[in-house]
Amino acid sequence: MANSNKKSINTYFTELIELVVETHPNLSNEQKEDYKDFLGKRIEVNSKKNASGSGKPTKTQEENSAYKTAILAEMESGKAYTITDMCKELPTCIDLDKPNKINALVKQLKDEGKVIRSEVKGRAYFTKAEVEGE
């Protein structure tokens, strides 16, 4: 968890401008302006960096979302699958042919509540979660 009292980098830079640059007795006006400009640019660069995280999904995230939707659509309701079964039976998984990736995608579906995981004799089985109204 993040500490809510923690200062941002921009806050530190702003305080540096106020504390050091404005109050330092041995700095000439030119030096003060240079420090202000430098720290001001650091604040600007940091603000742009923080703003660039637009929250837009990456290409890989978009592809994975499409795979998850396809896997979910291809799973039969009430049927339990192992990852190996999915690799052999579901067209998307056959095309993908990467059991580790399929396992990661199915785990994401489980975390989203769209697939239910059960274990029988140490083997993991995944069943499509029933949604009310289906």
- Tens digit of each residue's pLDDT (9 = 90 or more) over 64-120: 999 999 999 999 999 999 999 998 998 888 888 788 999 999 999 999 999 999 999
Output the pLDDT for position 131. Answer: 67
Q: Which residue has the tokens 């030119």?
A: 30
With a CB cutoff of 8 Å and minimum separation 6, the contacts of 53 are none
Domain definitions of the chain by residue range: 9-50, 59-128
Tokens read off for 109:
């579906």
CA distance 64 to 61: 5
Is domain 59-128 annotated with CATH 1.10.10.10?
yes
CA distance 93 to 102: 7
Check whether 1 has a pLDDT greater than 50.
no
Check whether 20 has a pLDDT greater than 70.
yes
Tokens read off for 8:
């941002």
Closest CA to 83 of 66, 98, 65: 98
**Which percentage of the chain shows pLDDT scores above 70?**
88
